[in-house]
Structure 1
Amino acid sequence: MPFAVLPAQICDVEPVYDVYFAAFKNEPIIEFLFPGGGDRKAHTAGTVQWWNHDRNGYTVKCVDTDTGKIVGMASWDIFWRPGEEGAWPKPDGAVWLEGEQRTKAEGVLVPLWEMHEKLFGKNRHVYLPTMAVDPDCQRRGAGRLLMQWGIDIAEKLGLAIYLESTEAGLPLYSRMGFERLTYVHMIHKAEVAGTEEDVEVPLMVKMPSKAKGMAFEDWAKRGYP
């Protein structure tokens, strides 16, 4: 089954996120972000609204060209415009939730957002918030294609790519040239993440060729040239 990566359209929101929820159904963080699986109708409506005004986000889909089925998705945030207008905006919080559910979700999300801000601030970069492949279609190249789409864009713009990995995603990202940051650490406490033990979130960066082999830490110290 040959795969191809195409821009996702408004009519794709529901099937694109069918893939997302299927891929992450066993990840503890999903229960924090979308308790009980969430209200999919509200999620679809909110996503459509967001896609209609988001200036930096580009969601792509991986399709089986024999059947037309969406088998993977990736949401890329490309902060390429000069000045603060094109910079990463720190989110307002888990606004789709209320009360204790919102507090729990923000216990996971806010530290991630703060680390993102610490590492990149208002500097131009590419960010991968989400990449997912249908469990029935994993290990067939869809993830690599979705990653390559963003890597090609980042290389043309001369920008670093940043992402927070799961342990399952580490092998793919490493094969595609991402380095794991070792001078900073992101730890989710067990009681916050809903796991038996504390969990370290792998923070990963891929540098553009114009960095000429420079590590991200040194690149950042030089002011993201």
Structure 2
Amino acid sequence: MATAGTLKLEPATLEDAPAIAELWFAAFTDPDMRHLFPDTPGFRQWWIKANHDDMINKPFQKYIKVVDTASTDEQGRPRMIAYAKWDLSMLSDRGTRYPPWHEDQPADECAAFFDGVDQNRIRIMGDLKHYYLDMLGTHPDYRKRGAGSMLVKWGCDLADREGVGAYVDASKAGAPLYEKFGFVDHSLPGSESTVASMARK
């Protein structure tokens, strides 16, 4: 698959689930997100299993990763430095996004947050066929080196080949990355949300 110097884009595998969880906690340190997804041993195991089960049971969700071939992990494999999950289903066909919330999470707040995210996606995309960038995280040591662009480009190229749109719930800080690939922020005027609802139609 695609390469950029020592960085290489590959499909993620089931054995990558623990590394995906570790990378996620390194990448997402925002207090609001940590409130919903707390860094506790129990929740880490929940997160590993959630991603592992998605890989097995949801073939329409494509996990891809970027590794650094010049660095190795504890198993001697090229170090995973970024990953993404592209969901190729329609929202109505996706089923439940997450398993039942872990006891360490504020369940009502999690449900309200992700319901709001889904409602914005419906408002903007409607019945338009599109692919959804469900998750993208880059390790802080590797930001601004092109890994995120490799992961976004993978899904945008696929969408272009198949003539469909793309959508992402981006952080405000991450929005410029998606703008480079033609995503437009459709957040409601005056919204105080930390999420930018971005579409590429």
Please list every run of 5 or more consecutive structure 1 residues that lacks an aligned counterpart in the other structure.
Answer: 188-197, 208-225
CA contact (8 A) 2:168 2:198 kept: yes
How far is 1:202 from its partner?
1.2
Give the paired residue count.
191
CA distance in 2, matches of 1:107, 1:160: 26
Matches within 5 A, 1:1-225: 2-34=6-38, 36=40, 39-67=43-71, 68-79=78-89, 87-89=92-94, 91=96, 95-98=100-103, 101-181=106-186, 184=188, 187=191, 198-207=192-201
Bigger mean CA offset, 100-109 vs 164-173: 100-109
Which structure 1 residue ranges, 4+ long, deviate > 6 Å from structure 2? Answer: none
The 3 A distance-change label for structure 1 pair 4 and 112 is: same
TM-score (norm 1): 0.75
Q: Secondary structure, in 3 states, of the residue corresponding to 1:165?
A: strand
CA distance in 2, matches of 1:101, 1:56: 28
Bigger mean CA offset, 1-10 vs 88-97: 88-97
Q: Secondary structure, in 3 states, of the residue corresponding to 2:48?
A: helix
Aligned identity (percent) is 23
Please list every run of 5 or more consecutive structure 2 residues that lacks an aligned counterpart in the other structure.
Answer: 72-77
How far is 1:71 from its partner?
0.3
TM-score (norm 2): 0.83
The 3 A distance-change label for structure 1 pair 118 and 186 is: farther
* Aligned amino acid, residue 50 of structure 2: G
The 3 A distance-change label for structure 1 pair 143 and 54 is: same
CA distance in 2, matches of 1:130, 1:12: 15
Q: Deviations over 1:143-168 (max 9, x none)?
A: 11111111111111111100111011
CA distance in 2, matches of 1:149, 1:202: 21
How far is 1:36 from its partner?
4.3
* RMSD (Å) for aligned C-alpha atoms: 2.6
